[in-house]
Structure 1
Amino acid sequence: MNRTPKAFLISDGICLLLLLFFLFALPKNLFKSPTSFVVEASNGNLLSASIAKDGQWRFPVADSVPVKFKSCIIAFEDKRFYHHFGVDFLAMGRAMRQNLKAKGVVSGGSTLTMQVIRLSRKQDRTIWQKLLEMMLAFRLEFKYSKEEIIGLYAANAPFGSNVVGLESASWRYYGRDAKSLSWGEMATLAVLPNSPSLVHPGKNLAKLIKKRNDLLDKLVKLKYIDQTTANLSKLEPVPGKPLPLPQNAQHLLNRFKTERNLLNINSTRITSTLNENIQLKVSYILKRYNNRYRANDINNISALVLDARSGEVVSYVGNVYQPDDPLLQSHVDMIKASRSPGSTLKPLLYASMLNDGFILPHTLIPDIPTQIAGYSPQNYDLGYDGAIAADKALSRSLNIPAVKMLQQYKYERFYDKLKKLGIGTLNQPADHYGLSLILGGSEVTMWDLANTYMGMVRTLNHYNTYKGLYNPADYHPAVYVKQTHKGEADVQRNSFLDHASIWSTFNAMEEVMRPGDEGLWEQFSSSQRVAWKTGTSFGFRDAWAVGVTPDYVVCVWVGNADGEGRPGLVGIEAAAPVLFDIFRLLPNGKWFEPPVTKLKKIKICKQSGYKAGENCPDAVEEMVPPAGEKTASCPFHKIIHLDRTATYRVTDQCESVTSMTHKSWFILPPAMEYYYKIKNSDYKLLPPFMAGCDPTSGNVMELIYPKNGASVYIPLELDGSRGKIVLNAAHRNAGSKIYWHIDNEYVATTTNYHQLAVSPPAGKHTLTLVDENGERLVQVFTVLDKDKKKK
């Protein structure tokens, strides 16, 4: 019978539709169920995992399936898996005969490929669904390899309770990675997808053991294992109660959850850069210190370790994880939290001023009582040095010199520099922070702080690599996801901080708060060279320590997540010991190589640290950052005129010029001199003037407190009476008298130590100081009204 053209068209159309259905019946994403977030260490071992959104423990599909599981599941479910195209007709026929004979379903005959389709569709088991599964199984075999199909099965098969997939089952039942399981353990897991209800504490134990043992015997018959291995495997216990999964990087896991889209990662699993051994040891160190600090109600501690060579995160402990006590707020990732940095930004200011030609490494900085627009910084020890070298001011973390340096550098410029260096929490304009920026008046995160220091380390490390040029990528944040490809270096001639300034800063930081004054030498003794800095925020709310070597950056924070301050919560006592315990875990390498071609040799005044001027008698050559050539010459060495015996100062009114001795003398301003001479016994005061000379030197007196134009507040005493303010002045000549006047009325006379306690009324006042030679100093100050103070 001949077919008409119309019949041909209909049959061809049906065939085309069937073909299209076959081609497109399989969805692009076979499994759409949510998966657990998983963080692995750099060696592939599990660090942390979280349950999927639907309440199941379901890991993403693994790259490979253990050979033992393949052998077990193929022996148990689908002996001819590698020899069929999705449907095993021999097994199907055998199953039909067994079911007819038993007058019920005793065998399914489904291949692993068909079971993958069934797991993805979750439909009722009917004849039509079975036929559809067979067709889709054929299609699956065309699209996926056998290894991919068994991988899909291993990742999505049910293993009892809320456990889905081989990997999560291995961790939940045995507390280990699937690759490390024995034949007996793997055989136990292989029989579970067929009967997942067998895993139940205290129930079905005999049935589970029998199924496992039958499979072990089958493995012997198929020559996967020998009889001895099977016999030993039968003696192994079967799992009972599910085990908790590791929680060794819980805060990084949560960070990955929030940043996965930004990282452009499709999977919910990452192989991180974390070193498992170091991560576990750092966690142990933090727990040990946390147990000690909690006696003082200091509940939280965190640490971040970065590999400066690779730019990778080595250890990430956002907090000591204690989920059983929610009041401790251990879930808060303090590495991401914005906190006051205390003094940890001081090295960045020091480096910036070296880089921009404002100071040299040992330039003397004023350290005297200071009031700037109502702001009065205080040193931690409440003392004053008068003047101190910039590097020593950094090493001792003195606040007043830091404020004086920022006042010179300008806080607006430093604000811009911090932003360029990677401090991303400066959300207010520069004027909002002002000079308090250098004393912790802003907020930073551990992440930004550690990455900024890592950028400095990487810049110095790459001095030879880039032949003296700079790579802006050195300041890019560290990565915590293992990467195989790294971009090409795009080097430039300039950077935020030059090699020499960074090198000088790290040299100064190597002496930061070194033991001696603190009595902590034994605690910090180490053969490893570390440049480090501590910090303490106002109100003892945050204790910091950050340290660098050419290989690593370590940042430690101690405090309370809710911001509660505690006595004794200071960087040197709470954070520094943790820092050095962590450094002891890390390999000890060489120190930074000096960037010799980026250092300039210039003459430095030994006493002042300034560039040597023509009057400096003791100049030494030092290697300094190149911008050091722009710095000012020494302002403190001046030529004075003495009599022929060099005992008295003279003028041409009392000594002929030909009889004078001219000598360079180190002269500090009166206020600086007042404190400097106390701590520097070798400081030589100016000789007195010869009798009969009429000095016209001026500037012999200086008011230390209050400064000209200052506003002061006089508090009430405990008994309710009005208190007093202490006026403080310095005079160049020891033993001089100063006559004090307030609003042109004489108040008192002082000798040697010029301090005076007074209680003037609220309002503006004129303070006049007159010495016995008639030198006058006139300044004004305002006493605030208590009501205005309250406002």
Structure 2
Amino acid sequence: MNKTTKAFLISDIICLTLLLVFLFSLPQKLFKSPTSFVIEANNGNLLSAAIASDGQWRFPVADSVPIKFKNCIVAFEDKRFYNHFGIDFLAMSRAMRQNLKAKSVISGGSTLTMQVIRLSRKQNRTIWQKLLEVILALRLELKYSKEEIIGLYAANAPFGSNVVGLDAASWRYYGREANTLSWGEMATLAVLPNSPSLVHPGKNSARLIKKRNDLLDKLVRLNYIDQATANLSKLEPVPGKPLPLPQNAPHLLNRFKAERSNLDVISTRIKSTLDEDIQLKINSILKRYNNRFRANDINNISALVLNANTGHVVSYIGNIYQPENADLQSHVDMIKAPRSPGSTLKPLLYASMLTDGFILPHTLVPDVPTQIAGYSPQNYDLGYDGAIAADKALSRSLNIPAVKMLQQYKYERFYDKLKKLGIGTLNQPADHYGLSLILGGSEVTMWDLANTYMGMVRTLNHFNTYKGLYNPDDYKSATYIYSDHKDEEDYQRNSFLDHGSIWATFNAMEEVMRPGDEGLWEQFSSSQRIAWKTGTSFGFRDAWAIGLTPQYVVCVWVGNADGEGRPGLVGIEAAAPVLFDIFRLLPNGKWFETPTTKLKKLKVCKQSGYKAGEYCPNPVEELVPVAGIKTTVCPFHKLIHLDRTATFRVTDQCEKVTNMQHKSWFILPPAMEYYYKIKNSDYKSLPPFMAGCDNSGGNNVMELIYPKNGATIYIPLELDGTRGKIILNAAHRNLNSKIYWHIDHEYVATTTNYHQLAINPPPGKHTLTLVDENGERLVQVFTVLDKEKNGVR
């Protein structure tokens, strides 16, 4: 290889090396400074923002820069910006002449492109650094468009104090979006990056006004604005003290900060699905109620609104934000907080039992004093109906029927169903919750609860759209990040809850009387149809209300974030009025369509709500969920035999068959009958047997209401320290009958008509024997504890 060739090779290598250095000189990510987390409403307006981790208000790069700012900054900093390749040689030569003449640096000659490089490098300015800025500016122009470069400048230029970027400056100094600023306001901001210290409350305002006015005159010369606009703009005041940024969705902002890494979102700025107008109005509603509740030391309230048609979050208020008072714990996002759900899961059990063929909508369920393995649920009103239709038990939110239904359905099955529906807080085995699962014995979040009901709404809404099939995506959680993504069309024949059962459940939920309306709301044609449910947790710690229409799901929670209970903190009084005030803000649409092909006509016993059997008189035909075909026939209508006067029951031992009348009779078990006939005056008890007729013990004439067979009882001490008593309670079909009570085979007492007996048995296992005057016997056992165990009372 001769010297010439070698020299050319070396020069080629040097050129290639320099080219590679030039090409790779620009970092992959130009700006690495942390940015503020920013939440925008679905219309692009700012809802909330948080200061960046380095203490600067620095918003991520915006999608676009207002034309006013482009014109102002180009006129002020780099009038040939759109005509050079990153270096303005005319400006640099002018700056050199001015600096030499003044014997100091009075002009830099840097282009906007070079300033972007300088802002990204944050290095002390030397001749070497200036040369690097020139090289990197050329490289920047090759990689980015002019619009992108001016966007980088707008997002990263200093605007005084701890404000970086045009968007943050616009909100901090004017309290508005940058694209809404006037020419005078925009000109003021455009001069700040060159002299950011000009923004100081009470200082430098004269210098700032002069710079702004000079720029306005320059904009006139460049034909960006006319003289009249400039003159009016010069009359505008310049900003003083920085303004606080909006905090209209602070809890959603914190949620986004916590979830961003799992959401596959690169930017710290998102356009959310929240409706700004609705968000602000609900904030006002919650503040009004919060001021009222604070008088009773109830400090926290939250609301969540979901759009069932889109699966979007419409409003997200995790708490009334009051950072000035740390004791109120307003920073806690109650939408994410696990709390006892009270009765809000009861509709899910009702729908599950309809789906799986356990009940029909109006099936009678027991409502009598109940003790199950030491667990004694109570209705809120402490009363009993004896027997009540399942849908009425739901609309009245009765606890004992709900427990009886869960006992029939099995809590293990319901536990699995809740998990499938999206309740993600069941982190203990099913046995840990047991039957208390239906009365708030677990924990749920507002987020999971609202999304579960939204899944039901979406399933029913899509009945016709999916031609009777089901899409599992209907139960996907709502999203708060705006996107045009559509759910995949993966249809299935079966779902967690079927169309007919959901439809019947919403019908039952619609029957609840609204607070303050006294049932009169139905008389007004403008009233919105809403299916809803309230809940109150044990100890008055949580008040819930959840409501739905085909368009929206609204969930409200009221209480104290620290779990302190307060008297009067009940769902119907505290949360329900808030719920209906929120629904008044929302558009009203059509009610759910009836899923006719997922309902079957079935003959139903009008009195019992069961599938009609052969002895059910006057059955009615009703539309019921398909699985209703599998339910049992009415167990309460039986054929009885009466004498010729229809006064006494008889058997073939005491009356000829030809003299008998055979009638269908509605017969409830004695304990159910005992309470049922108090509230149902048309209930007819069984006639007594004719004298000389043998009952044969087959008519179940007596039942012990309390204690149940095998019950475990703890007898507490009275206030004076003496041992208390237990009240034994029995029911007999014959109101005038006598019952002879025996404990451990020893006679104790006789009762007539009302069969209650107060006793004080010693600790241990006891046998209780009841004998009526006809010799009918009932034998049961119960155990008295020596002291309280495991919370059993």
CA contact (8 A) 1:523 1:577 kept: no
CA distance in 2, matches of 1:486, 1:138: 43
CA contact (8 A) 2:169 2:189 kept: yes
* 1:771 has 2:772 as partner: yes
Alignment of 1:480-499 (within 5 A): 480-499=480-499
Q: 1:251 — aligned with what?
A: 251
Structure 1 SS opposite 2:352: helix
Between stretches 5-14 and 584-593, larger displacement belongs to: 5-14
Structure 2 SS opposite 1:470: coil
Alignment of 1:190-589 (within 5 A): 190-514=190-514, 527-589=527-589
**Cα 1:122–1:790, aligned 2, differ >3 Å: closer, same or farther?**
closer
CA distance in 2, matches of 1:749, 1:497: 52
CA contact (8 A) 2:616 2:664 kept: yes
The one-letter amino acid of 1:292's match is: R
Structure 2 SS opposite 1:644: coil
After TM superposition, give the deviation of residue 647 of structure 1 in Å.
Answer: 1.6
**Cα 1:568–1:693, aligned 2, differ >3 Å: closer, same or farther?**
same
CA distance in 1, matches of 2:245, 2:788: 61
After TM superposition, give the deviation of residue 587 of structure 1 in Å.
Answer: 0.2
CA contact (8 A) 2:515 2:572 kept: no
Structure 2 SS opposite 1:578: helix
CA distance in 1, matches of 2:581, 2:320: 16
Q: 1:729 — aligned with what?
A: 730
**Cα 1:514–1:73, aligned 2, differ >3 Å: closer, same or farther?**
closer
Q: 2:649 — aligned with what?
A: 649
CA distance in 2, matches of 1:138, 1:94: 20
Report Cα offsets for 1:100-135 as digits up to 9, x if no partner: 111111111100000000000111111111111111
5+ residue gaps, structure 2, are none
**Cα 1:524–1:422, aligned 2, differ >3 Å: closer, same or farther?**
farther
CA distance in 2, matches of 1:519, 1:350: 25
Report Cα offsets for 1:533-559 as digits up to 9, x if no partner: 000000000000000100000000000
After TM superposition, give the deviation of residue 695 of structure 1 in Å.
Answer: 2.0
The one-letter amino acid of 1:383's match is: G
**Cα 1:25–1:459, aligned 2, differ >3 Å: closer, same or farther?**
same
After TM superposition, give the deviation of residue 3 of structure 1 in Å.
Answer: 6.4
CA distance in 2, matches of 1:3, 1:133: 36
CA distance in 1, matches of 2:634, 2:4: 110
Q: 1:55 — aligned with what?
A: 55
Structure 2 SS opposite 1:491: coil
CA distance in 1, matches of 2:414, 2:576: 26
The one-letter amino acid of 2:778's match is: L
CA contact (8 A) 1:546 1:554 kept: yes
Q: 1:708 — aligned with what?
A: 709
Between stretches 208-217 and 91-100, larger displacement belongs to: 91-100
Q: 2:677 — aligned with what?
A: 677
CA contact (8 A) 2:342 2:537 kept: yes
* 1:103 has 2:98 as partner: no
> What do you get for the CA RMSD once the two structures are aligned?
1.5
Structure 2 SS opposite 1:782: strand
Structure 2 SS opposite 1:4: helix
After TM superposition, give the deviation of residue 522 of structure 1 in Å.
Answer: 7.6
Report Cα offsets for 1:436-483 as digits up to 9, x if no partner: 000000000000000000000000000000000000000000000001
Alignment of 1:749-768 (within 5 A): 749-768=750-769
CA distance in 1, matches of 2:471, 2:765: 56
Structure 1 SS opposite 2:574: helix
**Cα 1:487–1:368, aligned 2, differ >3 Å: closer, same or farther?**
closer
Report Cα offsets for 1:163-200 as digits up to 9, x if no partner: 00000000000000000000000000000000000000
CA contact (8 A) 1:313 1:480 kept: yes
Report Cα offsets for 1:281-330 as digits up to 9, x if no partner: 11111111000001100000000000000000000000000000011000
Alignment of 1:655-674 (within 5 A): 655-674=655-674
The one-letter amino acid of 1:217's match is: D
After TM superposition, give the deviation of residue 761 of structure 1 in Å.
Answer: 1.1
**Cα 1:524–1:427, aligned 2, differ >3 Å: closer, same or farther?**
farther
CA distance in 1, matches of 2:785, 2:574: 39
CA contact (8 A) 1:642 1:648 kept: yes
After TM superposition, give the deviation of residue 693 of structure 1 in Å.
Answer: 2.1
**Cα 1:154–1:674, aligned 2, differ >3 Å: closer, same or farther?**
same
After TM superposition, give the deviation of residue 521 of structure 1 in Å.
Answer: 6.1
The one-letter amino acid of 1:707's match is: K
The one-letter amino acid of 1:505's match is: T
Q: 2:595 — aligned with what?
A: 595
Structure 1 length-normalised TM: 0.98
CA distance in 1, matches of 2:11, 2:786: 102
CA contact (8 A) 2:513 2:519 kept: no
CA distance in 1, matches of 2:494, 2:7: 79
CA distance in 2, matches of 1:295, 1:520: 29
CA contact (8 A) 2:544 2:571 kept: yes
CA distance in 2, matches of 1:606, 1:59: 66
Report Cα offsets for 1:759-785 as digits up to 9, x if no partner: 111111111111000101111111111
After TM superposition, give the deviation of residue 485 of structure 1 in Å.
Answer: 2.4
CA distance in 1, matches of 2:515, 2:689: 44
Structure 2 SS opposite 1:424: coil
Report Cα offsets for 1:29-82 as digits up to 9, x if no partner: 000000000000000000000000100000000000000000000000000000
**Cα 1:561–1:205, aligned 2, differ >3 Å: closer, same or farther?**
same
After TM superposition, give the deviation of residue 788 of structure 1 in Å.
Answer: 5.7
The one-letter amino acid of 2:754's match is: Y
After TM superposition, give the deviation of residue 488 of structure 1 in Å.
Answer: 2.6
Report Cα offsets for 1:704-750 as digits up to 9, x if no partner: 00011111111111122221110000001111000111111111111
Q: 2:691 — aligned with what?
A: 691
**Cα 1:754–1:473, aligned 2, differ >3 Å: closer, same or farther?**
same
Report % sequence identity: 84
CA contact (8 A) 1:395 1:508 kept: yes
After TM superposition, give the deviation of residue 690 of structure 1 in Å.
Answer: 1.9
CA contact (8 A) 1:397 1:513 kept: no
CA contact (8 A) 1:515 1:524 kept: no
CA contact (8 A) 1:337 1:446 kept: yes
After TM superposition, give the deviation of residue 698 of structure 1 in Å.
Answer: 3.7
After TM superposition, give the deviation of residue 13 of structure 1 in Å.
Answer: 1.4
* 1:165 has 2:165 as partner: yes
CA distance in 2, matches of 1:687, 1:761: 39
Q: 2:32 — aligned with what?
A: 32
* 1:784 has 2:785 as partner: yes
CA distance in 2, matches of 1:368, 1:115: 81
After TM superposition, give the deviation of residue 514 of structure 1 in Å.
Answer: 4.3
CA contact (8 A) 2:473 2:487 kept: no
The one-letter amino acid of 1:211's match is: K
CA distance in 2, matches of 1:57, 1:227: 35
CA contact (8 A) 1:173 1:239 kept: yes
Structure 2 SS opposite 1:786: coil
After TM superposition, give the deviation of residue 524 of structure 1 in Å.
Answer: 13
Aligned residues: 789
CA distance in 1, matches of 2:606, 2:485: 50
Structure 1 SS opposite 2:53: coil
CA distance in 2, matches of 1:264, 1:788: 51
CA distance in 1, matches of 2:436, 2:720: 34
